[in-house]
Chain A
Amino acid sequence: MNDHIVRSYDQELTELSDKVSQMGGLAEEQLGRALDALQRLDMDLAEAIVVADAKVDMLERNIEELAVLTIAKRQPMAQDLREIMVSIRIASDLERIGDLAKNIAKRTTALKEDRPLRIISGLGRMGRQALQQLKDVLDAYAEGDAEKATGVWRGDEAVDAMFNSLFRELLTYMMEDPRTIGPCTHLLFAAKNIERIGDHATNIAENIYYLVHGEQLDEDRPKSDVTSETAIDYTVANNS
């Protein structure tokens, strides 16, 4: 709804949401390419991703500056104020997503030697799920669709579940054959990064809900990442 008496105010708000969408597109692209680089163990692509992260960071700074300037100039109220606050928060989540994607890309180098391709494919599935979550939540932002955002919010459980099973799988490999500890640790970190990306998409979903309704989504967050409480049981590995 853009029909302020002062038209330049509309322009500023539009510019802000355009920038958030642009940043979202970039973060999504970075994640997609990082998953690709990992899957194909493509060093050049990984390198390009690391370089491109600077663009994501720069957009975050732009959004922040524009938001601060708009607040100072317009003293926004109600919906307008929420739009601006939310754009800052979403930009910060997207910046984190960019960093995590960059970190996934960096691990490609470490995995190049061992080529644990079978395990990587499991990671790819989880990555695509998180990527879909990110895509959906960015669509929800563009459309101002709180219901769609809530759907993404609920969907985070699937990413967490994949992370749990991957975590167990990687543990098993490491216990069976200590030579896999190196690559498996890298993959575990990559999986954790993807799990975190899912959490950031969930944050974004919460912000969209707040933007539309003016109140926080007050259900308990669906949470099924239990790996931090999972004990590592050596006897299982030794008996098998």
Chain B
Amino acid sequence: MAMAQVAVEMPEVEPEETFKMLGRGVNVHYGDKQALFDVSLAIRANQVTSLIGPSGCGKSTFIRCLNRMNDVIEICRVAGDITLDGRDIYSPKIDAVELRARVGMVFQKANPFPKSIFDNVAYGPRIHGLASNKTDLEAIVVQSLSQAGLFEEVKDRLHAPGTSLSGGQQQRLCIARAIAVTPEVILMDEPCSALDPIATARIEELIDELRKDYTIVIVTHSMQQAARVSQYTAFFHLGVLVEEGETEFMFTTPRDQRTQDYITGRFG
């Protein structure tokens, strides 16, 4: 990956230390097809950044670049510069598995392992060697489940299969699993799209809580959700980052006509 500095326009006043992650001139190809065009976007520490845009706009592609999930797709080529705390995450010195422990991910569809609730959460700490004994491991599991707002509901059945939980609970289990390896950044790819409004509200409440300890990036199709949970919003269209900025302004007075058209339901 080229380390060359790409000139980008960033808000001058902000010091780069506030950026947990920074993408500069990111281009992504799937085979011959280009999915992202020269995207530069800052992810601010302890803030929720939401990525919005119509299907196929590249928002999921971008979020998957942030923890190198695209590595597993053979035809996918990522070019440009993506840093985590100022270090290039595509550098050969970086271990992708370790990176994914620091940059965790929660998917659209809750995907608990076919294991017990306890083991779902304990899996990560075990393979990363985060707990030296059983007591430590239990403490991590309880703390992660509590932070994910699930502990009270499952404390009496920690050894029941993860798949026996409701959809919303499964999603919170996946969040607990992501938290268990003490990541710094949590990526969420449409985490509520399969959930009912109550389960959605719980997750949104949780996102707000988690922001204190983690940096969060969320892809969502619900504009209202982006407006509710995030402090920063980036709008993608046809592989291009059209506009990004404080959520408050993105949803009240966007600068770009395409953003305005999309958020007011005028696209097409």
Q: Residues on A close to B: CB < 8 A?
A: 1, 3-6, 9, 74-82, 214-215
Q: Kindly provide the distance from the CB of B201 to the nearest chain A CB, expressed in whole angstroms.
A: 15
Query: Taking chain A's interface residues, is the majority helix, strand, or loop, or is none over half, making it mixed?
Result: loop
Q: Kindly provide the distance from the CB of B227 to the nearest chain A CB, expressed in whole angstroms.
A: 8
202-241 of chain B: CB within 8 A of chain A: 223-224, 227
Query: Taking chain B's interface residues, is the majority helix, strand, or loop, or is none over half, making it mixed?
Result: loop
Give the complex CA separation of A219 and B191 in angstroms.
Answer: 45
Q: Kindly provide the distance from the CB of A107 to the nearest chain B CB, expressed in whole angstroms.
A: 43
Q: Which of A75, A76, A77, A81 has the most CB of B within 10 A?
A: A77
Q: Kindly provide the distance from the CB of B234 to the nearest chain A CB, expressed in whole angstroms.
A: 16
Query: Is the CB of B251 closer than 8 A to any CB of chain A?
Result: yes
- Report yes or no: B265 in contact with A78, Cβ–Cβ below 8 A: no
- Report yes or no: B260 in contact with A79, Cβ–Cβ below 8 A: yes
Which of B224, B264, B267 sits near A78, CB closer than 8 Å? Answer: B264
A5-B266, A5-B267, A6-B265 given; name 20 further pairs at CB < 8 Å. Answer: A1-B266, A3-B266, A4-B265, A5-B268, A9-B265, A74-B265, A75-B223, A75-B224, A76-B264, A77-B227, A77-B252, A78-B252, A78-B253, A78-B263, A79-B260, A80-B264, A81-B252, A82-B252, A214-B252, A214-B253
Give the complex CA separation of A74 and B223 in angstroms.
Answer: 12
**Can you show 16 pairs from A to B with CB atoms below 8 A apart?**
A3-B266, A5-B267, A5-B268, A74-B265, A77-B223, A77-B227, A77-B251, A77-B263, A78-B260, A78-B263, A79-B260, A79-B264, A82-B252, A214-B252, A214-B253, A215-B253
Q: Kindly provide the distance from the CB of A222 to the nearest chain B CB, expressed in whole angstroms.
A: 25
For A3, list chain B residues within 8 Å (CB).
266
247-268 of chain B: CB within 8 A of chain A: 251-254, 260, 263-268
